[in-house]
Structure formats: C-alpha cells, structure tokens
Amino acid sequence: MQLMFLDGLDELDQKIVKLLIQNARMSYSDIGEQIGISRVAVRSRVQALEDKGIIEEYTTIINPQKISGAISCYFEIETAPDTLMEAAALLKQNDTVTQIYRVTGKSRLHVHAVASSNEEMEKLIYETIDKLPGVIECSCNMIFSRIKDIKGLRL
C-alpha cells in the first residue's frame, strides 16, 4: 500500500515509519531485520526523523471510557472573530481540556475534554466555557464509546 503522505521520505524511512506506526515499541534490531539494515542504521534514521519533527513523540494512550467515572465530551464553540484566540488560550490553560482544534466555519473551536466525574465536567462548563469571551454559540456532546480512533497518520 502506497501512503501518499510518505512520498517525501526515501524507501527505507517509509518502511521505518510504517513499522513504528504499527508498533512504536518495536526495537531498532527488529526493524532492521524486517527492512534489511543494521540496528545502528535504524537508530540513526529514527533520530533524523525525530530531529526533522516527522516523528514527534512516542506515548501511551489511555481510553477514558475504560476508567470508571470518567466523562468525555466534545464542544463546538463559535466565538466572535476577534475573541477566538483569547478563548482558545483560556481553554488551553484548563487541565480538563485535552485537545483544541481551530476548524473551518464561523470562528469555530472544536474542543475535547475528559473529566474524572460529572461534577468536574460541570465545573469546566460553568467556570470556564460559560465565561469565555465572545461566545456566540456552544454545543456539548458526551462521548459514550470509541468506535475508531487512529492516532497520527493513517495506514
């Protein structure tokens, strides 16, 4: 399968990235065995990919739906154009907010939040979201279950 977003990388780097997308814990030795280069060469190439910012991080993903009491919501927030970035900066300071995206449309923010309880989510809404400057419209949707959630680039 050809991945169009990898066209800027040589063939070996493409193979390394594909393997790391499948399993970020794969050892340099295992990668080298699969693509036919040494462990040292793999390490050097991965380091170069990290230095260029192509590989940003290796992380553990926690599924909040599997934690008892955790509440996941996403918000669609429309603000006046001149207050959009101020609202985003205020949301960014809140630890309950996990992701903020600026999306197309009328000065919109798409915001994900994960709270440990209904009370914590309610606090986010009343103390932060309801007080954001320039809000024109805000909707909140609770996430019941994860059907598909691929991190990073798609294979």
Angle, nearest 10°, between helix axes 39-51 and 28-35?
110
- Gyration radius (Cα) of the chain, Å: 20
pLDDT in tens, 84-137: 999 999 999 999 999 999 998 777 999 999 998 889 999 999 999 999 999 999
CATH (residue range 4-51): 1.10.10.10
Q: What is residue 53's predicted lDDT score, i.e. its pLDDT? A: 86
- Domain boundaries 64-143, CATH class: alpha beta
Enumerate the CATH 3.30.70.920 domain ranges in the chain, comma separated: 64-143
Q: What are phi and psi of 147, to 5 degrees?
A: -95, -45
Q: What is the rounded CA–CA span in Å between residue 21 and residue 42?
A: 15
Enumerate the CATH 1.10.10.10 domain ranges in the chain, comma separated: 4-51
Q: Which residues contact 152 (CB under 8 A, 6 or more apart)?
A: 21
CA torsion angle 60 115 143 59 (round to 10): -10
pLDDT in tens, 2-44: 444 566 788 898 889 888 888 888 999 999 999 999 999 999 9
